[in-house]
Structure 1
Amino acid sequence: MDQKIVVTNPKLYILSPQAENDLAGIYAYIARDNLDAAERTLDKLLSACELLTDNPKIGQYRYDLTPLPVRFWLVQPRYFLIYRGENPVEIVRVLAANMDIARELAGE
Protein backbone atom coordinates (compact mmCIF):
# COMPACT_ATOMS: atom_id res chain seq x y z
CA MET A 1 0.00 0.00 0.00
CA ASP A 2 1.37 3.41 -0.96
CA GLN A 3 1.25 6.02 1.78
CA LYS A 4 1.15 9.65 0.70
CA ILE A 5 2.92 11.91 3.16
CA VAL A 6 0.68 14.90 3.86
CA VAL A 7 2.22 17.98 5.45
CA THR A 8 -0.54 19.95 7.14
CA ASN A 9 1.30 23.28 7.14
CA PRO A 10 4.04 23.41 4.51
CA LYS A 11 5.16 26.86 5.70
CA LEU A 12 6.54 25.29 8.86
CA TYR A 13 9.07 23.03 7.16
CA ILE A 14 10.01 21.60 3.81
CA LEU A 15 10.53 17.91 3.09
CA SER A 16 13.11 17.25 0.40
CA PRO A 17 12.07 14.66 -2.19
CA GLN A 18 14.53 12.23 -0.60
CA ALA A 19 13.07 12.85 2.87
CA GLU A 20 9.60 12.13 1.47
CA ASN A 21 10.95 8.87 0.03
CA ASP A 22 12.59 8.04 3.36
CA LEU A 23 9.32 8.58 5.25
CA ALA A 24 7.34 6.52 2.74
CA GLY A 25 9.89 3.72 3.01
CA ILE A 26 9.83 3.75 6.82
CA TYR A 27 6.04 3.68 6.78
CA ALA A 28 5.88 0.82 4.26
CA TYR A 29 8.48 -1.23 6.14
CA ILE A 30 6.67 -0.97 9.47
CA ALA A 31 3.19 -1.33 7.93
CA ARG A 32 4.06 -4.77 6.56
CA ASP A 33 3.82 -6.05 10.13
CA ASN A 34 1.79 -3.44 12.00
CA LEU A 35 -0.25 -0.69 10.36
CA ASP A 36 -0.99 1.05 13.67
CA ALA A 37 2.70 1.19 14.54
CA ALA A 38 3.45 2.63 11.10
CA GLU A 39 0.87 5.38 11.66
CA ARG A 40 2.24 6.17 15.13
CA THR A 41 5.81 6.29 13.86
CA LEU A 42 4.90 8.59 10.98
CA ASP A 43 2.98 10.86 13.36
CA LYS A 44 5.97 11.04 15.73
CA LEU A 45 8.36 11.86 12.90
CA LEU A 46 6.13 14.59 11.46
CA SER A 47 5.53 16.03 14.95
CA ALA A 48 9.29 16.17 15.42
CA CYS A 49 9.57 18.08 12.13
CA GLU A 50 7.15 20.65 13.53
CA LEU A 51 9.15 20.82 16.77
CA LEU A 52 12.23 21.74 14.74
CA THR A 53 10.47 24.75 13.26
CA ASP A 54 10.10 26.23 16.74
CA ASN A 55 13.53 25.07 17.92
CA PRO A 56 15.75 24.80 14.83
CA LYS A 57 19.00 24.83 16.81
CA ILE A 58 18.22 21.84 19.04
CA GLY A 59 19.90 19.44 16.64
CA GLN A 60 23.63 18.87 16.54
CA TYR A 61 26.08 19.13 13.69
CA ARG A 62 27.75 15.76 13.10
CA TYR A 63 30.90 16.50 11.15
CA ASP A 64 32.06 13.00 12.02
CA LEU A 65 29.32 11.77 9.66
CA THR A 66 29.17 14.45 6.98
CA PRO A 67 30.86 17.72 6.02
CA LEU A 68 27.44 19.10 5.09
CA PRO A 69 26.09 21.91 7.28
CA VAL A 70 23.14 19.84 8.48
CA ARG A 71 21.88 19.15 11.97
CA PHE A 72 20.77 15.81 13.41
CA TRP A 73 17.80 15.28 15.71
CA LEU A 74 17.09 11.84 17.17
CA VAL A 75 13.42 10.83 17.17
CA GLN A 76 12.46 7.85 19.28
CA PRO A 77 15.74 6.08 19.71
CA ARG A 78 15.49 4.88 16.17
CA TYR A 79 15.44 7.64 13.53
CA PHE A 80 17.45 10.75 12.76
CA LEU A 81 15.88 13.80 11.19
CA ILE A 82 18.67 15.41 9.22
CA TYR A 83 17.89 19.03 8.44
CA ARG A 84 19.19 22.48 7.62
CA GLY A 85 18.02 26.02 7.89
CA GLU A 86 15.86 27.92 10.27
CA ASN A 87 13.15 29.67 8.32
CA PRO A 88 11.93 27.40 6.93
CA VAL A 89 13.56 24.24 8.21
CA GLU A 90 14.34 21.81 5.38
CA ILE A 91 14.25 18.13 6.30
CA VAL A 92 16.96 16.67 4.07
CA ARG A 93 16.76 13.00 5.10
CA VAL A 94 15.06 10.73 7.63
CA LEU A 95 17.35 7.79 8.36
CA ALA A 96 17.34 4.89 10.75
CA ALA A 97 20.01 5.29 13.41
CA ASN A 98 21.43 1.86 12.63
CA MET A 99 22.15 2.74 8.98
CA ASP A 100 25.53 3.74 7.59
CA ILE A 101 24.57 7.40 7.72
CA ALA A 102 27.89 8.70 6.40
CA ARG A 103 27.48 6.56 3.29
CA GLU A 104 23.83 7.56 2.85
CA LEU A 105 24.73 11.26 3.00
CA ALA A 106 27.81 11.00 0.78
CA GLY A 107 25.69 11.55 -2.31
CA GLU A 108 23.86 14.63 -1.00
Structure 2
Amino acid sequence: MTQLEKLKLMIPELSGTTDQDEALQLLLDDVLSDLLTWTNRTTLPAALEPTQRQIAVIRFNMQGIEGQTSHGEGGVSRSFDELPLPIRQTIGQYRLVKLVRLNAAT
Protein backbone atom coordinates (compact mmCIF):
# COMPACT_ATOMS: atom_id res chain seq x y z
CA MET A 1 0.00 0.00 0.00
CA THR A 2 1.38 3.43 -0.93
CA GLN A 3 1.79 6.35 1.46
CA LEU A 4 -1.04 8.12 -0.40
CA GLU A 5 -3.41 5.18 0.10
CA LYS A 6 -2.48 4.97 3.79
CA LEU A 7 -2.98 8.72 4.22
CA LYS A 8 -6.44 8.53 2.65
CA LEU A 9 -7.37 5.83 5.16
CA MET A 10 -6.31 8.16 7.99
CA ILE A 11 -8.61 10.94 6.71
CA PRO A 12 -12.09 9.36 6.80
CA GLU A 13 -13.79 11.97 4.62
CA LEU A 14 -11.35 11.15 1.79
CA SER A 15 -11.10 7.37 2.13
CA GLY A 16 -13.29 6.58 -0.88
CA THR A 17 -12.39 9.49 -3.15
CA THR A 18 -9.70 10.13 -5.75
CA ASP A 19 -10.57 13.80 -6.26
CA GLN A 20 -7.82 15.14 -4.02
CA ASP A 21 -5.05 12.64 -4.80
CA GLU A 22 -2.76 15.28 -6.32
CA ALA A 23 -3.21 17.66 -3.38
CA LEU A 24 -2.61 14.87 -0.87
CA GLN A 25 0.48 13.69 -2.76
CA LEU A 26 1.81 17.25 -2.72
CA LEU A 27 1.18 17.35 1.03
CA LEU A 28 3.10 14.07 1.49
CA ASP A 29 5.95 15.38 -0.71
CA ASP A 30 6.18 18.62 1.31
CA VAL A 31 6.27 16.70 4.59
CA LEU A 32 8.92 14.36 3.15
CA SER A 33 11.05 17.36 2.20
CA ASP A 34 10.67 18.83 5.69
CA LEU A 35 11.53 15.51 7.37
CA LEU A 36 14.66 15.12 5.26
CA THR A 37 15.72 18.65 6.16
CA TRP A 38 14.98 18.19 9.86
CA THR A 39 16.89 14.89 10.03
CA ASN A 40 19.78 15.88 7.72
CA ARG A 41 19.11 12.83 5.56
CA THR A 42 18.77 12.21 1.82
CA THR A 43 16.31 9.32 2.13
CA LEU A 44 13.52 8.76 4.60
CA PRO A 45 13.97 5.80 6.95
CA ALA A 46 11.00 3.41 6.78
CA ALA A 47 10.45 3.96 10.51
CA LEU A 48 9.55 7.62 9.81
CA GLU A 49 6.83 6.82 7.25
CA PRO A 50 4.07 6.78 9.92
CA THR A 51 5.39 10.13 11.17
CA GLN A 52 5.20 11.49 7.60
CA ARG A 53 1.53 10.51 7.44
CA GLN A 54 0.79 11.91 10.92
CA ILE A 55 2.26 15.28 9.99
CA ALA A 56 0.36 15.23 6.67
CA VAL A 57 -2.91 14.67 8.55
CA ILE A 58 -2.09 17.54 10.92
CA ARG A 59 -1.33 19.83 7.99
CA PHE A 60 -4.46 18.69 6.14
CA ASN A 61 -6.58 19.54 9.19
CA MET A 62 -4.86 22.92 9.55
CA GLN A 63 -5.73 24.06 6.02
CA GLY A 64 -7.55 27.35 6.23
CA ILE A 65 -6.34 28.10 9.77
CA GLU A 66 -2.63 28.54 9.04
CA GLY A 67 -0.96 30.83 11.52
CA GLN A 68 -3.60 30.54 14.25
CA THR A 69 -2.39 29.44 17.63
CA SER A 70 -5.82 29.46 19.28
CA HIS A 71 -9.45 29.89 18.32
CA GLY A 72 -12.62 30.37 20.32
CA GLU A 73 -16.18 30.27 19.09
CA GLY A 74 -19.50 29.58 20.78
CA GLY A 75 -17.90 28.67 24.10
CA VAL A 76 -15.52 26.19 22.45
CA SER A 77 -11.84 27.02 22.59
CA ARG A 78 -9.13 25.30 20.53
CA SER A 79 -5.38 25.72 20.44
CA PHE A 80 -2.97 24.35 17.87
CA ASP A 81 0.61 23.11 17.95
CA GLU A 82 2.29 22.68 14.60
CA LEU A 83 4.05 19.53 15.78
CA PRO A 84 3.12 17.78 19.02
CA LEU A 85 5.98 16.80 21.32
CA PRO A 86 5.79 13.02 20.62
CA ILE A 87 6.22 13.65 16.89
CA ARG A 88 9.16 16.02 17.50
CA GLN A 89 10.76 13.39 19.74
CA THR A 90 10.36 10.70 17.07
CA ILE A 91 11.97 12.94 14.45
CA GLY A 92 14.81 13.74 16.85
CA GLN A 93 15.66 10.05 17.19
CA TYR A 94 16.49 9.87 13.47
CA ARG A 95 18.35 13.16 13.17
CA LEU A 96 21.89 12.92 11.85
CA VAL A 97 24.43 15.29 13.30
CA LYS A 98 26.21 17.56 10.87
CA LEU A 99 29.93 17.77 11.40
CA VAL A 100 31.90 20.72 10.16
CA ARG A 101 35.63 20.50 9.75
CA LEU A 102 37.54 23.63 10.57
CA ASN A 103 41.09 24.11 9.40
CA ALA A 104 43.11 26.07 11.87
CA ALA A 105 45.20 28.79 10.28
CA THR A 106 48.82 28.51 11.32
Give TM-score scaled by structure 2 length: 0.33
Determine which structure has the larger strand proportion and give its number. Answer: 1
Structure whose CA Rg is larger: 2
